[in-house]
Amino acid sequence: MATVAASTNAHIAVLPSPGIGHVTPLLELSKLLVTHHHCHVTFLNVTTESSAAQNNLLHSPNLPPNLHVIDLPPVDLSNIVNDQTTVLTRLCLNLRENLPSFNTILDQLSHKSQALIIDMFGTFVFDTIPQNIPVFTFFTASASLLAFSLFLPQLDRDVEGEFIDLPHPVQVPGCKPIQTEDLLDQVRNRKIDEYKWYLYHLSRVPMSAGILLNTWQDMEPVTLKALSEHPFYRKINTPPLYPIGPLIKETEPVTENEPECLAWLDKQPSGSVLFVTFGSGGVLSSEQQSELAWGLELSGVRFLWVVRVPNDANASAAFFKAGSDDANNAALRYLPEGFVERTRDRGLVVKSWAPQVAILRHAATGAFLSHCGWNSTLESVTHGVPLIAWPLYAEQRMNGTMVEEDAGVGVRVRSEGGVVGRGEIERVVSMMMEGEEGKEMKRRARELKESASMVLGEGGASFVTRAAMANACLFAGKNDCSQKPGEKLDKTAVKA
């Protein structure tokens, strides 16, 4: 791959969907565009229903110069959403209602903005964006999900009935087949609003000037090859691909629990602690939380567990509440009686929120029991920490299977009747922390850590690809930004 100049003066606007999982990688990309590629970035923050974690992250005093966060004024959603509105539908409606404010601000920036970056649920902008501003889509999940999503419109036309009722796995062009039980939640029922929103947005992604992928070659080699070479993706005019990952948080705002967590880890042997948390939005049921507690106790391993108040109806109940504290240690009251006392000599239980990046990079952390959201998966692998995959919602089952079968950096828990039993938890935890299989997963995780470091370093594949994207923005700007959404930037695009 030819070296691309790492310096531009492009001005880029960034509009993420609401939710910390969408905001975090786009903020990290924005930081790198400013600090490594001399871009100017205006980051537009949807404040309506924004979580405490999102607000803390975006209003950190440590953001670099030339990265400016603009808060979009709150909008009233009370007439279009309620407590039963699902996460993706709520997210899309929120973003749609913010479009007038976004368009006003973009109009004010239009004299200097040379490109716009959205995520995959921001394709509303294609209907209003000035034709002189190219739009790049940042795909916040895996390349494997992108491949499936670009294939979804064809699947929607070809298949009658529900995809989960198909008698065989879904054969995504050029990729490993997806077991129907691993399909993401949003496509498991084609009659619901979430499916309609997902199909709507992902069918419009090819209108982008380019697709930015938070992955790299060694993490998803088969899928990246398929996306760039398979005839199907050429036929649908897949935009140029920019694999620029892994983009993860390098720092994070200090949390109330951080001093306690790090001080406790400092006292533990190297690689001995299992870190347990289910991301920014994940919540267990009461029964499942109890079984997890018993499984950890039976395993006898050291652990650091971030506990939330359980929810028996919704595994993503904390999605819009990330970073909020549970008052009066309410979460701890749902654990088995005496659990905290019985495990006090080898376990630390903290409520609601913990400094995930700091914990994963700590020498005492030996493995990560995770919901396998894509951000958490990348954070774990980039720090050389293997995973126990415990998917909860969205595309996490696909990620869990990838972690186990493709990347070889983890093991996936198995449930019976929808509940992972204490015996299964004890088995996988003991295997990971003490077994030969766990040693192999740790070795593979260390390999991917080294690979990630290489591609992100100056001259590495992700660094060069990111520079190519920045130069593509500058190229468009120097030609009066004459490109329309959906047209290619062939002179600067980097194929996977």
pLDDT tens digits for range 201-228: 999 999 999 999 999 999 999 999 999 9
- Per-residue pLDDT band for 353 (boundaries 50, 70, 90) equals confident
Does pLDDT of 148 surpass 90? yes
Mean pLDDT of the chain: 90
Task: Give per-residue pLDDT as tens, 293-311.
Answer: 999 999 999 999 999 999 9
Based on the residue annotation, tell me whether 406 is a catalytic residue of this protein.
Answer: no
Task: Supply the DSSP symbol for 402.
Answer: I
Residue 278 identity: F
Mean pLDDT of 259-268: 96
The predicted pLDDT at position 39 comes to: 93
Query: Residue 459: left if φ>0, alpha if ψ -120 to 50, beta else—which one?
Result: left
Cβ atoms of residues 340 and 307 within 8 Å: no
Neighbours of 382 (CB within 10 A): 23
Distance from chain centroid for Cα 226: 21
Closest by Cα among 180, 175, 170 to 143 = 175
Through-space distance between the first and last CA atoms of the chain, rounded to whole angstroms? 10
Residue 9: what pLDDT?
Answer: 79
- How does pLDDT run across 444-483, given as a tens digit for each residue? 999 999 999 999 999 999 999 999 999 888 766 444 433 3
Q: Does residue 320 surpass a pLDDT of 70?
A: no
Q: Which residue, among 479, 464, 460, 475, has the nearest Cα to 8 in the 3D structure?
A: 475
HSE-up (13 A, CA, CB side) for residue 197 = 21
What's the Cα-to-Cα distance from 356 to each of 168, 227, 353, 474, 494, rounded to whole Å?
38, 32, 8, 36, 32
Identify the CA nearest to 88 among candidates 201, 194, 196: 194
Q: What is the pLDDT of residue 190?
A: 97
Which two three-digit tokens encode residue 437? 């299989």
Q: Which of 119, 201, 362, 371 is catalytic?
A: 119
Average pLDDT of span 239-268:
90
- Give mean pLDDT, residues 79-95: 95
CB-based contact 111:85 (threshold 8 Å) = no
Task: Specify the amino acid at residue 241.
Answer: L
pTM of the model: 0.92
178 DSSP assignment? B
Confidence class for position 8, pLDDT limits 50, 70, 90: low
User: DSSP alpha helices (H): ranges in 282-412?
Assistant: 286-299, 339-342, 356-360, 374-382, 396-401
b or e along 137-161 (b: 16 or more beta carbons within 10 Å of the residue's beta carbon)? bbbbbbbbbbbbbbbbeebeeeeee
Q: What is the pLDDT of residue 484?
A: 37
Q: What is the DSSP letter of 419?
A: B
Q: Please check the confidence at residue 52 and state whether its pLDDT lies above 70.
A: yes
Question: Residue 237: is its pLDDT beyond 80?
Answer: yes
Lowest mean pLDDT among 23-37, 50-64, 77-91, 323-337: 323-337
pLDDT, mean of residues 277-294: 93
Minimal CA–CA distance to 349: which of 257, 447, 222, 238? 257
d(CA 256, CA 275) in angstroms, rounded, equals 18
Q: What are phi and psi of 137, to 5 degrees?
A: -100, 125
Backbone angles phi, psi at 237, to 5 degrees: 60, 50
| Active-site annotation holder among 22, 40, 371, 383 | 22
pLDDT at position 114 is 87
The structural domains of the chain, ordered by start, are 11-245+457-478 (3.40.50.2000), 258-452 (3.40.50.2000)
pLDDT band per the 50, 70, 90 thresholds, residue 280? confident
pLDDT of the residue at 238: 96
Comparing CA positions, the residue from 336, 324, 346 lying closest to residue 264 is 346
Of residues 216, 140, 248, the one with CA closest to residue 496: 216
- 22 belongs to the catalytic site: yes
Identify the pLDDT of residue 319: 67
**Are 176 and 222 spatial neighbours (Cβ–Cβ below 8 Å)?**
yes
Mean pLDDT in residue range 36-61: 92
pLDDT at 324: 54
Please give the pLDDT value at position 438.
97
Task: List CB contacts of 316: < 8 A, sequence separation 6 or more.
Answer: 87, 281, 282, 283, 392, 393, 394
Q: Say what angle helices 87-97 and 193-204 make with each other, to 10 degrees.
A: 60
Q: What's the whole-number mean pLDDT along residues 393-402? A: 97
pLDDT at 252 over 90: no
The structure tokens listed for 53 are 């974690």
* Lateral strand order in the sheet of 365-370: 347-351, 302-307, 273-276, 365-370, 387-389, 410-412
For residues 492 and 262, the model is more confident at: 262
